[in-house]
Chain A
Amino acid sequence: MRRFAVLLLAGAPSLVAAQGFGVYEQNTCAMGRAGVAAASPCADGSAIFFNPAGLGGLGGNRFTAGVTLIGAQGSFTDDFLGRRTDLENPLIPVPAAYFTHALTPALTAGIGVYAPYGLETKWPTEDFEGRFVGYNTDVRSIYIQPTVGYQVSPKLKLGVGVAYITSRLALHQRADFSTQLVPGQTFTFAALGIPTGTDFADASLHATGSGFAVNFGGMVQLSDRVSIGGHWLTRKQIDYDGTVDFTQISTGLTLPADNPLGLPAGTLVDALVAANFGPGGSLADGGVKTSLIMPPQGTLGFAYRATDAWTVMADYHYVVWGWFSEVQIDFANPATPDLTLHPNNSDTHGFRFGTEYRYSPKIQLRGGYLYHSAASPAEFVTPLLPEGARNEFTIGAGIELTPQLHADLGYQYIRQNDRRGLVNTSGGNTGLYQFSAHLFGIGAAYTF
C-alpha cells in the first residue's frame, strides 16, 4: 500500500503556496493595476500586505474591506484518446480587510486579515484519470498581520508586520486497485488483469497548521515624480496536524472461474483488500503530521508619475521556490510508511506592469499586465496543481462615493500557458493541462 500513501500527499505542498495558485489579489485597487504596489501602494491600508512601509504617514483611520471572486476554468486532455476532463471548481470568494490608525503624523499602525492561499481544485471522480493523484484539494490560509509603518523622513518610509497564519488543508483522492501489490508477491494486481483505474478506496486528509512570518518593506521618494520600494516576506513554516480517513469503495469486480488468484468463481475482488481497512491495516484511519516550508518572497518596484493624472509603475516579484524541495510526511499508523517527497520546485520570476489614470477628481481608471514563470518542474505538474507560466491582464476603477467612502472595482483575466502534466505518478506526463480564470474584485474603503 506504499504507493497509495505516496500519492496521498504528492504535490500538496506546491498547492499550498505555489505562485500559480497563490492569491495575490488581496485588494481591488491593487488588482486593477496588476498587483503593482511596491513603490506606491493604494492608500487604503492594503500596504499591510503589499508593502508595510506604505503605512508610514498614512493619516486618519481607514477601514477597507473587499472580496475577489475567482472563477477558474481548467481541463486535462489525455494523450491516449484526446478526451478532455474539465475542472469543476466553484466560484471561490477570497475576502480581505485592513484597518489602519495613525498614531502620529509619521507613525501608523494597522492590522490586516487576508487569505493569500485560498484556492481549490476540484475534478470529477468519474472517468478522470487523475483522481488517483487527487480529485479535490482545498487549502484555506488566513493571515492576520499586525503592522506598523513609519515615515522616517519626507523621502523614506519603513514598515514591518508579523503575520500569524492559520491554515486548513483538505486533500481527497482515490486509490487504484490495479496498482496495489498482490499480498506476498512482488507484482501488482494489474499483472493479474485487474483493470487500470479500478477505484477501491477513497482517502481524505484533513489537517490544520499555523506559523508566523515577517513582512517588511521600505519606500524611497526619489523625486516628486519617482518613487521606488520593495518588501520581503520571510520564510515561514507551517506545521500541520490532522487525520487521514480511508473508506473502502466497491470495485464492482467479481472473479470468474479459473482465475489466476485461485479463488472460487463469484469472489468479490473487494474481499481481497478488506482487511487493510481494519485496525492495524495499512489503510486504517489515523493521524498525520507534516511541515511545509513557505519560501521567502519579495518585490522590488518603482512608480513614475508621468503627469499629474497619469502614473505608471512596475514590480519585479521573486519567490525562492528553489528552497522548496522536500516534504516529510509522518503517518501515525505504523503500517502506513512515512514519506519524503521531492517537489523540486524552481524559483519564480514575476514581472508586473500597472498604470493608474485620474479621470476626474472622483474617478481613477487602472490597467495592468503581468507575467510570471512556473514553480512546478515539468515532471511534477499534477491534478493537485496544474500550474504553469501565466499571462494576466487587469482593469479596474476607483470611485469616490462620498468624501469618506471610496469604492473599487477590478477585473483580471489569467491565461496560463498550456502545460503537459501527469495523472499517474509512475507514468510520466500523459496529457495537457489548460487553465484560465476570471477574477472579479469589489471593495470599499472608509476613511474617518
Chain B
Amino acid sequence: MIWTTTRFPAAALGLLLAALGGACENDTVNRPFSNIPVDPLFERYVSIGNSITAGFQSDGILDSTQLQSYTVLLARAMHSPFFVPLMKRPGCRPPFTNVFTQTRLTPPGFPPSTATSCYLRVVPPIPPPFVSNTAVPGAEVLDIYNNLDPASNANTLTTFFLGGLTQVQMAERAEPTFVSVWIGNNDVLGAATSSTNGGDTTLITPAATFTLRYTAMMDSIDQMAPQGGVLIGVANVTLIPFFSRGSTYWAIKNGLVPGAAFPATMAVDNNCAPAAVMIPGSRGDSTLVPFPYGAALLTAASGGTPVVLSCSDTVPRVVVPAELRALVAAVTAYNATISAAAAVTARGWAYLDPNVKLATLAADTAQVRPFPYFPQGNAGDTVAVRRPFGRAFSLDAVHPSAATHRLLADTLRQLINATYTTAIPPIP
C-alpha cells in the first residue's frame, strides 16, 4: 500500500478528533447543601451556647432533638453548611418520655434507659472538618473558653461534643463568618433550681464576675474576626414552668381554680396567698415552688400522708421573695453586659432579649402552664405525657420545646435580617 499525501492529514485529523472527543470534561465542586448561603455573611455560621442551643429537651439529648435546635433551623434557612455533633439514639442521656414516671426513651431491643444512660456520638462516613454547633449542655460563660478551670461545669457531653477543645477553640476551627452566642442562663439557673436550696443566691455568678468572663469570651471570639453575630440575653429563669407560684398552689387549695383540686391531706399555708388578698405575711405571688418539690408534696398527699406547703423563708426548697429578687437582678445585670457587648459602640452586633418572647409565652397558659398538668388517671388523657408544662416547654419544664425553637429561630431570623439587611427566608 502506498501512503498518499491525503491519507496522512486524514489520519491525523482522525486522531485529533478522537483526542478532542474527551478532552474537556471537568468535574465540579459538589457542595452538600446544594445551594450557597443566602448571604456571604453566613458562609460559615457557628453557634456557641449551652443546653438550649445544643438541642437538649426533656432532660436528654439525641440526634433528633439536636436537629430541632433553633440554631440548626436558622442555619438551614441561611443555607449555611452547619455540622452538629449528633449523639446516637437513644441519646446521652435519653430524654423523658414521661416525666411523672421518669421513663426515658428506650428503643426496642435496648436496655431500659436511665438518667445515667449514655450512647456514643454518631461518626458520619464523611466526617465534617469541624463542629458548627459548639454548644454544650451545662455550660456557663466560663466554660466557653476554659473547661479545665475548677469552676468549670465540664461534663460527659463536653468531651463528646468538643473532644478536649473549648467551644471557642472549636469555633475557631470553622473560621466563622457569623456567630451566635446564647450563654449565661446557667450562671443563674443552677441557683434557681437547686434541689437543696431553691434560689440559692450563693450559686449565682456575681455580676462583676459575669462581666469579666463575658468580656474574656467575646475577646476570644473577636480573635476569629467574624463579620457579624448575634448575642442573646439570659432568660428570666423565674418564668419557666419549672416553677409555679406559691399563690397558684394557694388558689387551687382554696377552690379558686375551676376544675383543680388538691387532696385533703395537702395543706397550703396562708403565707402562700397572693399579697393582694391582704392576709398578713402573704407572699405567694413572689414565691416560687419548684416542680419536683411540689410534685413530691402532692404525691405524698395523694398517698394519704398529710403535707403542708409553706412559703416561709425557713423552707429551703422554695424560692422566697428575696431570692427571687436576687435572681431577677442577676438576669438584669447579665443582660446589661450582653447588650453592651453587642451595642454599636462595641461590635454593632444584633442583640435579642429572649424575655420579651418568654413573657408573651408565659402570659398564654396554653404555652406555659402556671401549674403542671398532673396525670388525671383517666384513660386517653395524654396531656400529662405530651405537654404537662404547656406547648412551649419540653418534659423537663426548663428547656424549650421544638415549637419554641422554631419561634426562636424565626425571631432571630427577623432580627438578623433587620440588623444586617439580609434576606434569610422564614423558618418552615
Contact = CB atoms under 8 A, between A and B. Distances in A.
Whether A associates with B in a native complex is yes
Interface of A: 77-82, 129, 178, 187-198, 222-223, 225-226, 251, 253-261, 265-266, 269, 302, 304, 306, 312, 314, 316, 351, 353, 369-371, 373, 389, 391, 417-420, 424, 426-428, 430-432
Interface stretch (B14-22, B389-397, B399-407): B14-22
Given A371-B20, A391-B24, A82 B29 contact: yes
Contacts of B130: 195-197
A432 B148 contact: no
Given A312-B12, A353-B15, A420-B27, A226 B152 contact: no
Contacts of B154: 256-259, 265
B120 interface: yes
Contact of A259 (B83, B127, B131, B159): B159
Given A190-B121, A314-B15, A430-B126, A391 B23 contact: yes
Given A193-B164, A419-B27, A420-B27, 11 more contacts: A80-B83, A81-B129, A82-B29, A191-B123, A194-B163, A226-B8, A255-B159, A259-B154, A314-B11, A417-B24, A418-B27
B262 interface: no
B165 A265 contact: no
For the complex, would chain B's binding face be called helix, strand, loop or mixed by DSSP majority? loop
B170 interface: yes
Contact of A257 (B118, B155, B161): B155
Interface residues of B, number: 55
B196 interface: no
Given A196-B130, A391-B24, A424-B127, A256 B147 contact: yes
Interface in B85-133: 85, 118, 120-121, 123, 125-131
Q: Which 10 interchain pairs have the tightest Cβ spacing? A: A253-B164, A256-B154, A351-B19, A371-B19, A427-B126, A193-B163, A196-B127, A418-B26, A259-B159, A193-B160
Contacts of B129: 78, 80-81, 129, 196-197
B23 A261 contact: no
Contacts of A255: 159, 164
B271 interface: no
Interface of B: 2-3, 5, 8-9, 11-12, 15-16, 18-20, 22-32, 43-44, 81, 83, 85, 118, 120-121, 123, 125-131, 147-148, 152, 154-156, 158-165, 170, 173
Q: Which of B2, B12, B15, B127 is the most central at the interface, judged by chain A CB atoms within 10 Å of its CB?
A: B127
Nearest to A197: B129
Contacts of B163: 178, 189, 192-195, 198, 253
A193 B155 CA distance: 12
A260 B126 contact: no
Contacts of B128: 80, 196
A225 B4 CA distance: 10
A302 B147 CA distance: 73
Contact of B164 (A82, A269, A432): A269
A268 to B, nearest CB: 9
Contact of A260 (B29, B30, B159, B170): B159
B220 to A, nearest CB: 16
Contacts of A187: 120, 123
A170 B148 CA distance: 41
Contacts of B160: 192-193, 260
A175 to B, nearest CB: 15
Given A192-B159, A255-B164, A304 B8 contact: yes
Contacts of A251: 164
A431 B32 CA distance: 10
A88 to B, nearest CB: 20
Contacts of B8: 226, 302, 304, 312
B133 to A, nearest CB: 13
22 contacts: A82-B29, A187-B123, A192-B159, A193-B163, A195-B164, A196-B130, A222-B3, A223-B3, A225-B5, A226-B8, A254-B148, A255-B164, A256-B154, A258-B156, A259-B158, A259-B159, A265-B148, A312-B12, A353-B12, A420-B30, A424-B126, A427-B127
Nearest to B26: A418
Contacts of B148: 254, 256, 265-266
B123 A351 contact: no
Nearest to B160: A193
Contacts of B156: 258-260
A227 to B, nearest CB: 10
Contacts of A198: 163
Nearest to A254: B164
A80 to B, nearest CB: 6
Contact of B30 (A79, A129, A193, A269): A79
Contact of B25 (A194, A417, A428): A417
Contact of B159 (A261, A302, A424): A261
A304 B29 contact: no
Contacts of B162: 193, 195
B190 to A, nearest CB: 16
A203 B412 CA distance: 47
B29 A79 contact: yes
A114 B165 CA distance: 51
A194 B165 CA distance: 9
Given A81-B44, A256-B147, A417 B27 contact: yes
